[in-house]
Amino acid sequence: MQLTVWTYEGPPHIGAMRVATAMEGVHYVLHAPQGDTYADLLFTMIERRDKRPPVTYTTFEARDLGTDTAALFQRTLKDAYERFRPQAMLVGASCTAELIQDDPAGLAKASNLPVPVIPLELPSYQRKENWGAAETFYQIVRTLAGPQAPTAVTQRRDANRRPVCNILGPTALGFRHRDDVTEIRKLLGEVGIDVAVVAPLGASPADIARLGEADFNVVLYPEIAGVAAKWLKRTFGQDFTTTVPIGHGATRDFVSEVRRIAGLPEEETIDSRPASNLPWFSRSVDSNYLTGKRVFVFGDATHALAAARVATEEFGFTLCGLGTYSREFARDIRAAAEKYGVEPLICDDYLDVEQAIAAAQPELVLGTQMERHIAKRLGVACAVISAPVHVQDYPARYSPQMGFEGANVLWDSWVHPLVMGLEEHLLGMFRDDFEFHDEAQPSHLGAGARIPAEPASASTTSAIPPADASQVRKPASLDGDLISFDWLTEAEAELKKIPFFVRGKARRNTEKFALERGLSEITVETLYDAKAHYSR
Amino acid sequence: MSGALVNPVPVLPSRGCSDLPVLRERGQREVFCGLTGIVWLHRKIQDAFFLVVGSRTCAHLIQSAAGVMIFAEPRFATAVMEERDLAGLADANEELDKAVSRLIERRPDIRMLFLVGSCPSEVIKLDLSRAAGRLSERYSPDVRILNYSGSGIETTFTQGEDNCLAALVPQLPESRAETSQLLVVGALADVVEDQFARLFDAMGIENVRFLPPRRARDLPPVGPSTRYLLAQPFLGETARVLDERGASRIAAPFPLGAEGTTLWLKAAAEAFEIDPMQFRAATAAAEARARRALEPYHAELSGRSIFFFPDSQLEIPLARMLSRELGMQLTEVGTPYLHRHHLAEELALLPENTQLSEGQDVDRQLDRARTARPDISVCGLGLANPLEAEGLTTKWSIELLFTPIQGYEQAGDLAALFARPLDRKTRLRV
- What's residue A482's pLDDT? 43
Q: Among partner residues B68, B70, B386, which is closest to A52 by beta-carbon distance?
A: B386
Per-residue model confidence (pLDDT) at position A148:
77
Helix segments in B66-189, DSSP class H: 83-86, 92-106, 119-123, 128-139, 159-168
From A33, A41, A94, residue closest to B381, measured CB to CB: A41
Chain B residues close to A47, C-beta within 8 Å: none
**The predicted structure's pLDDT at residue B78:** 94
Q: Which residue of A has its CA nearest to B366?
A: A52
**pLDDT for res B71:** 57
**CB pair distance less than 8 Å for B82 and A56:** no
CB count within 10 Å of CB A110 equals 11
* Amino acid at position A466, single letter: P
pLDDT at A269 over 80: no
Contact between B85 and B98 under an 8 Å Cβ cutoff? The reply is: no
Closest chain A residue by Cα to residue B102: A3
What is the predicted pLDDT for the residue at B3? 40
Residue A452 confidence class, pLDDT cut points 50, 70, 90: very low
CA B40 to chain centre: 10
Mean pLDDT of A462-473: 37
Binding-site residue numbers of A for substrate are 421-422
Q: Which of B157, B132, B152, B151 is nearest to B143 (CA)?
A: B132
- In sequence order, the 6+-apart residues with CB closer than 8 A to the CB of A199 are A23, A137, A141, A166, A167, A168, A207, A208, A211
Strand ranges, E, within A157-290: 164-168, 194-199, 216-219, 239-240
Q: What is the pLDDT of residue A424?
A: 73
The phi and psi torsions of B391 (rounded to 5 degrees) equal 90, 5
Largest Cα–Cα distance in chain B? 69
B154 interfacial to chain A (CB closer than 8 Å):
yes
Q: Is residue A41 within 8 Å of residue B382, measured between CB atoms? A: yes
pLDDT of chain B along its 430 residues, tens only? 344 444 444 444 433 456 778 999 999 999 999 999 998 999 899 899 999 999 999 999 998 877 655 555 678 999 999 988 887 766 888 999 999 998 998 889 999 999 999 999 999 989 999 999 999 999 988 999 999 999 999 999 999 999 999 999 999 999 988 899 999 999 999 999 999 999 999 999 999 999 999 998 899 999 999 999 999 999 999 999 999 999 999 999 999 999 999 999 999 999 999 999 999 999 999 999 999 999 999 999 999 999 999 999 999 999 999 999 999 999 999 999 999 999 999 999 999 889 999 999 999 999 999 999 999 999 999 999 999 999 999 999 999 998 999 999 999 999 999 999 999 999 998 8
Note the pLDDT tens digit of each residue in A155-165: 555 667 899 99
Q: Can you give the pLDDT at residue B353? A: 85
Chain centroid to CA A476: how far? 28
Give A465-468 contacts, CB < 8 A, sequence gap 24+. A468/B72
Query: In Å, how far is A459's CA from the nearest CA of chain B?
Result: 22
| Residue A412 annotated among the catalytic residues of the structure | no
The pLDDT assigned to A418 comes to 85
Would the pLDDT of A481 be above 50? no
Cβ–Cβ below 8 Å for B79 and A51: no
From the CB of residue A190, how many other CB atoms can be counted at a distance below 10 Å?
10
The C-alpha atoms of residue A416 and residue B298 are separated, in whole angstroms, by: 48
Residues B216 and B109: their CA atoms lie apart, in Å, by 11
Given this model, what pLDDT does residue B19 score? 73
- Measured CA to CA, the distance from residue A302 to residue A74 in angstroms comes to 39
Inform me whether the C-beta atom of residue A468 falls under 8 Å from chain B C-beta atoms: yes
Query: Distances from the Cα of A211 to the Cαs of A201, A202, A263, in angstroms?
Result: 14, 14, 19
Q: Which of helix, strand or coil describes residue A74?
A: helix
Give the closest of A1, A64, A96 to B95, CB-based. A1
pLDDT digits (tens, 9 = 90+) for A431-447: 666 666 766 667 676 65
Mean pLDDT of chain A: 87
Q: What's the distance, CA A304 to chain centroid?
A: 7
Q: Does residue A50 have a pLDDT over 60?
A: yes
In whole angstroms, what is the distance from residue B229 CA to residue B240 CA? 13
Tell me which residue of B188, B192, B132 sits closest to B161, measured CA to CA.
Answer: B188
Residue type, A278: L
Q: What is the pLDDT of residue B13?
A: 42
Predicted local distance difference test score (pLDDT) of residue B69: 58
Task: Write out residues 307-366 of B within 8 Å (CB-CB) of A.
Answer: 363
Q: Residue B154 is nearest to which of A14, A42, A62, comparing CB atoms?
A: A62
Measured between alpha carbons, how far is B387 from B379 in angstroms, rounded to an integer? 9
Cα separation values, B81 from A15, B36, B54, B318, Å: 19, 19, 6, 39
Which of A452-456, A514-518, B407-411 is least confident? Answer: A452-456
How confident is the model at residue B172, as a pLDDT?
A: 96
Q: Residues of B within the annotated binding site for [4Fe-4S] cluster? A: 33, 58, 119
Biggest alpha carbon–alpha carbon distance for chain A? 83
Residue A127 predicted with pLDDT over 60 = yes
Q: CA-CA distance, A347 to A330, in Å (whole number)? A: 9
For residue A38, list chain B residues with Cβ-Cβ distance below 8 A: 32-33, 36, 61, 64-65, 382
A377 pLDDT band, cuts 50/70/90, is confident
Tell the burial category of A43 from Cβ atoms under 10 Å away from its Cβ (0-12, 13-18, 19+). Answer: buried
Pairing of strands B144-149, B76-80: unpaired
Q: Rounded CA gap, B239 and B256, in Å?
A: 20
CA distance A416 to chain B (A): 21
Taking only the tens place, the pLDDT of each residue in A193-214 is 999 999 999 999 999 999 999 9
Find, in chain A, the residue whose alpha carbon is nearest to that of B91: A1
The ipTM is 0.91
Chain A partners within 8 Å of B57 (Cβ): 10-11, 13, 36, 94-96, 124
**Chain A residues in contact with B60 (beta carbon < 8 A):** 7, 10-11, 14
Q: List C-alpha distances in Å: B280 to A96, A245, B184, B267.
A: 54, 73, 20, 13
Is B118:B52 a contact under the CB 8 Å cutoff? yes
Residue in B1, B64, B83 nearest the CB of A38 = B64
Query: What 8-state DSSP symbol labels residue B21?
Result: -
- Determine the pLDDT at residue A206: 96
Contact residues, chain B, for A96 at CB < 8 Å:
55, 57, 119-120, 123, 152-153
Strand order across the beta sheet in which B329-335 lies = B22-25, B355-359, B329-335, B305-308, B376-379, B394-396
The burial class, CB within 10 Å (0-12 / 13-18 / 19+), for B206 is exposed
Q: Which of B282, B257, B283 is nearest to B346 (CA)?
A: B257
- Rounded to two decimals, the pTM is 0.89
Question: Which residues, 6+ apart, have CB-to-CB distance to B296 below 8 Å?
Answer: none
Percentages helix, strand, coil for chain B (3-state, rounded to 5) are 45, 15, 35
Does the structure show a pLDDT above 70 at A28? Answer: yes
Give contacts of A 49-78 with B, CB under 8 A.
Answer: 49-52, 56-62, 64-65, 75-76
Cα distance from A88 to chain B (closest Cα, Å)? Answer: 19
pLDDT score, position A421:
63
pLDDT category of residue A508 using cuts at 50, 70 and 90: confident
What distance in Å separates the CA atoms of residue A265 and residue A288, rounded to the nearest whole number?
Answer: 38
**Interface subset of A 374-433, CB within 8 angstroms of B:** 376-377, 390-391
CB spacing of A35 vs B152 below 8 angstroms: yes
Q: Which of A9, A44, A82 sits opposite B384 (nearest CB)?
A: A44
Rounded to whole angstroms, the Cα distance separating A93 from A100 reads 10
| pLDDT higher than threshold 50 for residue A458 | no
Q: In this predicted structure, which of A242-246, A253-257, A490-494, B159-163 has the lowest mean pLDDT? A: A490-494
Which candidate in A79, A286, A352, A486 is catalytic? A286
C-alpha dihedral sign at B289, B290, B296, B299: negative
Chain A 88-147, residues with CB within 8 Å of chain B CB atoms: 94-96, 99-100, 123-126, 128
CA distance A158 to A424: 59
Q: Could you tell me if B290 lies within 8 Å of chain A, comparing CB atoms?
A: no
A-B Cβ pairs (cutoff 8 Å, strict): 197
Q: Å from A58 to nearest chain B CA?
A: 6
What is the pLDDT averaged over residues A302-321? 97
- Residue contact B29–A59, C-beta within 8 A: yes
Predicted pLDDT at A439: 66
